[in-house]
Structure 1
């Protein structure tokens, strides 16, 4: 079974209006609500690719139930841990004055609920896969990630990490199956080095492989992505297009890469993942994959070396 863990789930509310003025009633001309959180996005993308998963993590209150209900309506299984409070609702407001992003903190997680989630993960088997993605909620120490990584190592299930916390440097020794840092996150792991060239990025990724990571997908946003493991180093540029939404493109890339890698070569997986991530970036919501084949046509995966 594939599990996706979102520790800090959210509803994203997108609002568009002509004007956004203080001390006035500003009426929207468009609004949309989406269940969100990086692991939630991965479950949705996997579903679009025909791959079942179960979404776990924390939800709270009416907004948490909305996320659960929306996923269930998509025929995505859920096994969330419910906590007190209200799952955060983030607002993205766009008007002729510009775009405003309001990101809230969410509920505080108690030690009892932390233990409850860890116990759930401790019950996984060696045949399971766990994506852990996104930020930590209030009350959760980054040591939870060490506990999860240790269980993955002891049990033998595949652990896939997409986290920006610097504790990632301590997790590589537990041999995660796949990590997906972007260029800034990779730089944070090597603060004394200037990762300002392809060679520097590849050397940093290779160091992480030497330290224990089995596979590394380095996202460069509009510049594409690298894939590095002990056998190969690959680069795929991103297709050109008008960027609308960068927030979910990395989740799309990661889910598509893992899913495709199970039945295809790393070259094919990287190419499709970059195209799918770009497809999400070129629209307001997650890709429907209708344009992915077209976006792939002009992409060429290159073998690169240090």
Structure 2
């Protein structure tokens, strides 16, 4: 079974207003409410690929119930730890007169040690037949030590651990040999105390992550495409062109599609190509992709094998 774990899920409220003035009632002209959180998005993506999965995490009161119900309506089983306090609501306000967006991201509930232990107890039952995604930021009360404990459990119980977080805890987790990690280029630079990375440095540090223990590194390069590192190969696939609407969930689409297709037995090159196309499709859409344009987008794309030597890398 595949499991997704979202420590700090959210309801995202998207609104549009003509103006956004202080001390007056600003009325909206458009609104949309979506269940969100990286693992939640991956659950939806996997289900669209006809892959059953179970969503884990922390769920607080009526807002948490909304997310659980949205998952269950799509046929996704849930096993959230229920906590006091409400699952967060984030508000994204598009102001038409300014052609800009204001983002309010809330903290979410405070998680206590008993609730953390309950979640890790669920995870401790996973075995070598299972895959676990842990994606996104930690809520209040959850430290990076919890991520390390999950990584340790994956190594001990032999389940495949997929980690997507911007925290440097990723580097500490490498000793437990995670199945896949998914940094973007900015996160990779930050982990190694760089402001930006050259093409050669992207390859050097991507390889370093594999050499340090990661079985696969899926390195997102935004509009440039994606690099994949394994112990035996480095692959690059360019991203297709299109009008970007919202990049917020494209990384979740990329990761969920890639791991999901590997689970279905698709060869790694084809899985990578389709995953980047699907991630781009999400970026070109107001919500998650429905995969209807993925085959067309793939016509713009090629997968290249990179033979890297210092001073020779020119592809990205």
Pairs within 5 Å for 1:43-54: 43-54=43-54
CA distance in 1, matches of 2:155, 2:213: 11
Shift of 1:24: 2.1
Residue 41 of structure 1: aligned partner:
41
| 3-state SS of paired residue (1:209) | helix
Equivalent-residue separation in structure 1 for 2:223 and 2:214 (angstroms): 25
Kept in 2: contact 1:206–1:228 (CA 8 A): yes
Match of 1:12 in 2: 12
Distance 2:121 2:226 in 1: 35
Q: Is 1:88 the counterpart of 2:93 in the alignment? A: no
Give the conservation status (yes or no) of the 8 Å contact 2:186–2:196. Answer: no
CA–CA separation in structure 1 for the residues paired with 2:25 and 2:242: 35
State the partner residue of 1:229: 230
Structure 2: distance between partners of 1:196 and 1:305: 19
Q: What is the match of residue 24 of structure 2? A: 24
Structure 2 equivalent of residue 260 of structure 1: 261
Query: Which of 155, 158, 178 in structure 2 is aligned with 1:156?
Result: 158
Compute the displacement of 1:103 (Å).
0.4
Mapping for residues 55-94 of structure 1, pairs under 5 Å: 55-94=55-94
Which one of the candidate residues 113, 123, 126 is aligned to 2:115?
A: 113
Q: CA deviation at 1:127?
A: 0.8
- Kept in 2, the 8 Å contact 1:159–1:178? The answer is yes
Compute the displacement of 1:205 (Å).
Answer: 1.1
Which runs of no fewer than 5 residues in structure 2 stay unpaired? Answer: 309-316
Residues 208-233 of structure 1: CA deviation (Å, up to 9, x unaligned): 11111101100011111000101110
Q: How does 1:173-184 map to 2 (within 5 A)?
A: 173-184=175-186
Matches within 5 A, 1:197-236: 197-236=198-237
Shift in Å, 1:195: 5.4
2:313 maps to none
Contact 2:155 2:177 in 1 (8 A): yes
SS in 2 for 1:79: strand
In 2, Cα distance between equivalents of 1:142 and 1:196: 25
Say which of 110, 132, 135 aligns to 1:133.
Answer: 135
- Normalised TM-score (structure 2): 0.94
Structure 1 residue 194: deviation in Å? Answer: 6.8
**Aligned mate of 2:169, from 167, 170, 178:** 167
Q: Deviations over 1:78-103 (max 9, x none)?
A: 00000000000001110222111110
Aligned mates of 1:284, 1:20 — CA distance in 2: 22
Whether contact under 8 Å (1:275, 1:292) holds in the other structure is yes
What secondary structure, in the 3-state scheme, does the structure 2 residue paired with 1:236 have? Answer: strand
RMSD: 1.1
Give the 3-state SS of the residue equivalent to 2:28 in structure 1.
coil
CA distance in 1, matches of 2:197, 2:173: 24
SS in 1 for 2:34: strand
Is 2:316 the partner of 1:301?
Answer: no
The two structures have a TM-score, normalised by structure 1, of 0.97
Aligned-pair CA distance for 1:171: 0.2
- The DSSP-based 3-state class of the residue aligned with 1:275 is helix
Gaps of 5+ in 1: none
